[in-house]
Chains A and B, each alone.
Chain A
């Protein structure tokens, strides 16, 4: 109905010629933002995409560098000891995943759906494994159940060196990752469903299967794939406690470091990429489903005290938490004993790193340096990238490419990324070759390795700020960077600090990516743990692992206290 419009005098036919599409001119802000976003895209291309490309190319190369098609893959599958690793990896991953997901579900259920006492403490303890390299639980297991372990008898003659040890170590190490997912899944449930169920006189058992489990199913799926991928691609635990039991991740290490067979390493690397990419795709799907499942009108579920249930969960969660603490304290005591288990007199002998292989205390200082640089530069790059991706107007293709590259590291196991770095940066044809063997490449690689989670944290924080703030600013003709520094950054400060903390702790504890690219001048503490353990210096290895753990814990605690104080003072506006 355009009769109203037709009555207006100006609506003559001559006026109606303008059908050319309108293209908005770019402002200086738009231009600047696009250029910086492109630069950051270039950064991700160089630090993530091209190393992966180099890995891919390597897997199709012969000894002389010529293209040999799939013959490397054929070689791999013809080698029974290598293919055995595939089935070993799968076995370990499936068993660990089942155990870890079950335990984390129970633990999360206790935290979110019961009134058991001590939930705060339990939650804190559950996150402890994140502060240690995956080598630490493996070393502790050696002390607990190894040849001289004080609890060796409970093994009934089975050996901890091999699948059993790997599974226990992996469950310990992946537990906090699974728990975070399960807690999220259980926190988004609708109390009204439970009220409906009890009004219909459904038994608690039936309610559990018809309401709780379906509500948490996406979390279960997501946790399953995340844990599976972490286990398949982890190399710290099997390296230390795997004994003769080979898995894919240790094979890469042996092929590359032991036999200098880079092409076979590349083939195994590509194989490891498969489960990671698959689980990444599943996770993306789950995230979409999960956010759709959470309607804004859902009423949060409030658990009611129930003596039997609360006690039962207190016992189960208490056992799990105790197990975590036992693992940590075993490493601590072993590192402090003069000669475990024969002479338990405390001493700092094992902390005398300078008189041992592995790089000495210098490697610990190197780690602190890399971790600090990673935290500072990583946070700056990640937050700037997330900001520009969210706020650049138009430029859909550019933003999409950036988003893809920013999420790509989530699907790339550290060990695969590290291998790609060798191929890419060690090539003399690469203009960036000069960073090879320096601290810089360790920092660059670590930022790339942990980019995605940091990026998602930043995006989430940015999405919580009123989107109209930028609009108002540009209508007031204020340049975007002014609003960024004056408003966006201060408002996002908690998230920024979280990202810095995340990068710092991970840089301190990671082994997988950096193990291929450190040099004798840039050894890291986590690698020293690996090398000392390899050389049979298990107690010093435990001591170095403890040093990392204590440093991470110390920084974490200081951070928590500081953040409370600083945010309390500078963020007065958050109070009502």
Chain B
């Protein structure tokens, strides 16, 4: 990514969300949400079902305005504007195509009301359909297309009026896995080509990790972390994020110094120093794939382990390692090469490293 913070400094954020709270009766669906989205950025709202992602998207679109707080788009306060005075295109999981209109009429739907001439509309529709690779489907009805094709039509329709903001609510969730993977790439490519600021709601971490410039991880109506896919994966800001994205070992322990803790008998050291007093209960997070069994660096916590049951996962083995002389068990992913070269099998005794710079430590209180 090319220095987005500089762009942000120069232009100011494109979308500025401040203290947005949404209540449904007594239930707080969004609590004091703050977020800046830069021009041209692809942002994903990621979180478990019911955490408020759609609610935030609906506030941005004006479909269901926030109870309090403000939203600015391109320097304009849009907090209380009705939907049709805002500037966005939207795509839903259900496609929401007009079932009785042909594909070309679906795509040209907004252009007619915008007072464009027939020829203008015709050429714009053709351009949009070509853009999503459906130029030859213009005369068909939605029900004659596959799910993936319908979603592309819906995308073309949303982009017809060249909106400043594209909103996608679980756009790929209704599609089967292979179509989903292909459309992921297509949407991202299109977004980058048009440079359109995009917000996508998803509960699928893979989708968020592969498509976004930045991910907003949400839980229970609050933002847990904002960061690039790499940041939220490598340095989750909370145990929630650590747990939600990827697989994770949660190792309970107590601090013995600022940079080490006793975990069920194994003393593990880590690089980020904590200021808590000795004896503070903490949780150490470690991804199974970060555990190494050869070329163990001196900065790693090297331990003797006994290999438990090994599950073949296709490109690696998932296994549990028991740290000898302690009560500590950790899940580890071992590469095919390591398993073959070191002849690892259930019951093998090997050396393993839990790299200090890969341990994320959170106070348990």
| Interface residue ranges, A against B (CB under 8 Å) | 1-5, 8, 10-11, 15-16, 18-27, 29-30, 466, 468-469, 471-479, 482, 486-487, 490-491, 571-576
Instruction: Decide: B100 and A487 in contact? CB cutoff 8 A.
Output: yes
Instruction: Decide: B69 and A572 in contact? CB cutoff 8 A.
Output: no
B130 on interface, CB distance cutoff 8 Å = no
The residue in chain A whose Cβ has the minimal distance to the Cβ of B66 is: A22
Contact of A19 among B19, B36, B63 (CB under 8 A): B19
Tell me the smallest distance from the CB of B152 to a CB of chain A, in Å: 15
B25-68, CB < 8 A from A: 32, 34, 36, 61-63, 65-68
Measured between beta carbons, the chain B residues less than 8 angstroms from A576 are: 143-144
Instruction: Given A475-B88, A490-B100, decide whether A4 and B80 contact each other with a Cβ distance below 8 A.
Output: no
Measured between beta carbons, the chain A residues less than 8 angstroms from B226 are: 4-5, 8
Contact string against A for B residues 68-85, beta-carbon threshold 8 Å, 1 for contact and 0 otherwise: 111000000001111111
Instruction: Decide: B70 and A18 in contact? CB cutoff 8 A.
Output: yes
Tell me the smallest distance from the CB of A323 to a CB of chain B, in Å: 44
B94 on interface, CB distance cutoff 8 Å = yes
Tell me the smallest distance from the CB of B82 to a CB of chain A, in Å: 4
Contact of A18 among B68, B109, B112 (CB under 8 A): B68
B250 on interface, CB distance cutoff 8 Å = no
Tell me the smallest distance from the CB of A488 to a CB of chain B, in Å: 9
Contact of A468 among B82, B96, B110, B222 (CB under 8 A): B96
Instruction: Decide: B144 and A22 in contact? CB cutoff 8 A.
Output: no
Could you tell me the dominant secondary structure of chain B's interface residues?
Answer: mixed
| Ranked 3 nearest A-B pairs via Cβ | A476-B110, A27-B82, A468-B96
Measured between beta carbons, the chain A residues less than 8 angstroms from B113 are: 476-479, 482
B322 on interface, CB distance cutoff 8 Å = no
Measured between beta carbons, the chain A residues less than 8 angstroms from B163 are: 475
Instruction: Decide: A573 and B142 in contact? CB cutoff 8 A.
Output: yes
Instruction: Decide: A472 and B34 in contact? CB cutoff 8 A.
Output: no
Tell me the smallest distance from the CB of A143 to a CB of chain B, in Å: 51
21 pairs from A and B in contact (CB 8 Å cutoff): A1-B222, A1-B240, A3-B237, A3-B238, A4-B226, A18-B18, A18-B68, A18-B70, A23-B65, A24-B81, A25-B82, A27-B83, A27-B84, A27-B85, A471-B96, A474-B82, A476-B89, A478-B110, A479-B113, A487-B100, A575-B143
The complex places the Cα of A486 from the Cα of B158 at a distance, in Å, of 18
Instruction: Given A30-B82, A576-B143, decide whether A15 and B237 contact each other with a Cβ distance below 8 A.
Output: no
Measured between beta carbons, the chain B residues less than 8 angstroms from A25 are: 80-82, 85
B153-187, CB < 8 A from A: 157-158, 160-161, 163
The complex places the Cα of A573 from the Cα of B84 at a distance, in Å, of 28
B interface residues, tally (CB under 8 Å)? 57
Measured between beta carbons, the chain B residues less than 8 angstroms from A473 are: 109
The complex places the Cα of A4 from the Cα of B222 at a distance, in Å, of 10
Instruction: Decide: A469 and B96 in contact? CB cutoff 8 A.
Output: yes
Contact string against A for B residues 84-103, beta-carbon threshold 8 Å, 1 for contact and 0 otherwise: 11101110101110111100
Instruction: Given A26-B82, A476-B109, A573-B142, decide whether A487 and B69 contact each other with a Cβ distance below 8 A.
Output: no
The complex places the Cα of A466 from the Cα of B94 at a distance, in Å, of 8
Q: Most chain-B CB neighbours within 10 Å: which of A21, A23, A476, A482?
A: A476
The complex places the Cα of A3 from the Cα of B236 at a distance, in Å, of 12
Contact of B65 among A3, A22, A30 (CB under 8 A): A22
Contact of A477 among B65, B90, B110, B237 (CB under 8 A): B110
Tell me the smallest distance from the CB of B135 to a CB of chain A, in Å: 20
B259 on interface, CB distance cutoff 8 Å = no
Contact string against A for B residues 207-230, beta-carbon threshold 8 Å, 1 for contact and 0 otherwise: 000000000000100111111000
Tell me the smallest distance from the CB of A296 to a CB of chain B, in Å: 15
B313 on interface, CB distance cutoff 8 Å = no
Instruction: Given A18-B69, A476-B113, decide whether A573 and B80 contact each other with a Cβ distance below 8 A.
Output: no
Instruction: Decide: B224 and A4 in contact? CB cutoff 8 A.
Output: yes
Measured between beta carbons, the chain A residues less than 8 angstroms from B94 are: 466, 468
Instruction: Given A22-B67, A466-B96, A491-B100, decide whether A15 and B83 contact each other with a Cβ distance below 8 A.
Output: no
Instruction: Decide: A573 and B82 in contact? CB cutoff 8 A.
Output: no
B107-147, CB < 8 A from A: 109-110, 112-114, 141-144
Tell me the smallest distance from the CB of B326 to a CB of chain A, in Å: 30
Instruction: Decide: B143 and A574 in contact? CB cutoff 8 A.
Output: yes
Measured between beta carbons, the chain B residues less than 8 angstroms from A466 are: 94-96
Tell me the smallest distance from the CB of A489 to a CB of chain B, in Å: 10
Contact of B223 among A2, A468, A571, A575 (CB under 8 A): A2
Q: Most chain-B CB neighbours within 10 Å: which of A4, A19, A471?
A: A4
Instruction: Decide: A474 and B69 in contact? CB cutoff 8 A.
Output: no
B182-217, CB < 8 A from A: none
Measured between beta carbons, the chain B residues less than 8 angstroms from A24 are: 62, 65, 80-82
Measured between beta carbons, the chain A residues less than 8 angstroms from B32 are: 2
Measured between beta carbons, the chain B residues less than 8 angstroms from A479 are: 113
Tell me the smallest distance from the CB of A4 to a CB of chain B, in Å: 4
The complex places the Cα of A344 from the Cα of B241 at a distance, in Å, of 90
The complex places the Cα of A573 from the Cα of B223 at a distance, in Å, of 43
Q: Most chain-B CB neighbours within 10 Å: which of A482, A487, A576?
A: A487
Contact of A1 among B68, B85, B238 (CB under 8 A): B238
The complex places the Cα of A466 from the Cα of B106 at a distance, in Å, of 15
Instruction: Decide: B63 and A471 in contact? CB cutoff 8 A.
Output: yes
Instruction: Given A1-B222, A487-B100, decide whether A475 and B61 contact each other with a Cβ distance below 8 A.
Output: yes
The complex places the Cα of A3 from the Cα of B237 at a distance, in Å, of 8
The residue in chain B whose Cβ has the minimal distance to the Cβ of A465 is: B99
Instruction: Decide: B96 and A474 in contact? CB cutoff 8 A.
Output: no
The complex places the Cα of A382 from the Cα of B66 at a distance, in Å, of 33
Measured between beta carbons, the chain A residues less than 8 angstroms from B143 are: 573-576
The complex places the Cα of A21 from the Cα of B36 at a distance, in Å, of 21
Tell me the smallest distance from the CB of A468 to a CB of chain B, in Å: 4
Measured between beta carbons, the chain A residues less than 8 angstroms from B70 are: 18, 22
Contact of B92 among A22, A468, A572 (CB under 8 A): A468
